[in-house]
Amino acid sequence: MNTAASPLWRAAEAIAPTLVGIAFFFAIIGVFGLPAAIGALVLFIALAICIFRRHPREEFKT
C-alpha cells in the first residue's frame, strides 16, 4: 500500500464498520420490524462469536 492511499484506506476502515454498526443498530432496534430485529440480533451475535473464535488466544500476542 502506498503512503498516498493510506489516509483513504484508513477512512474506509473507519467508515465500513461504522456503517455496518449503524445498520445492525437500526435493525436490532426494530426499525424494519420484529422478525428483522430478531434476525439481525442472531446474525450480530453469530458474527461476534465467529470473530471471538477466530482470535481465541489473541490476548497472548505481544
Partner 1 sequence: MSLDSATLARVQFAFTVSFHIIFPTISIGLATFLAIVEGLWLKTKDPLYMQIYRFWLSIFAMAFGVGVVTGIVLSFEFGLGFARFGQMAGPVIGPMIGLEVLTSFFLEAGFLGIMLFGLHRVGPKLHFFATCMVALGTLLSASWILSANSWMQTPDGVTVDNGRIVVNDWLKVIVNPSWPYRLPHMLAAAYITGSFLIAGVGAWYLLRGKHEDFGRRTVSLGTAFATVLIAGQVFLGDLLYGTMLRYQPAKMQAAEGFWDKQSQSPAPYYWIVVPDQEHQRNRFALGTPYLGSIWLTHSLYGRVAGLTNTPTDRQPQMAWVFYGFKLMYGIAIVMFGVGVASLWLRWHGRLFTTLWFLRFLVIMTPSGVLATLGGWYVAETGRQPWVIYNVLRTVDAVSPVPANVLLSTLIAFICVYSLFMVAFLIFTFRVIRRGPQAAPAQADTLGSLKHAIKSSMKLDPGSHGPALAE
Binding site for partner 1 (CB under 8 A): 17-18, 20-21, 24-26, 28-33, 37-38, 41, 44-45, 47-49, 51-52, 54-55, 58-62
Least Å distance between CB 6 and partner 1? Answer: 15
Q: State the Cα angle at 55 between 5 and 23, rounded to 5°.
A: 60
Nearer to partner 1, 5 or 31 (CB): 31
Nearer to partner 1, 5 or 47 (CB): 47
Least Å distance between CB 55 and partner 1? Answer: 5
> Using CA atoms, how far apart are residues 62 and 55, in angstroms rounded to an integer?
14
- List CB contacts of 29: < 8 A, sequence separation 6 or more: 37
> Using CA atoms, how far apart are residues 61 and 51, in angstroms rounded to an integer?
16
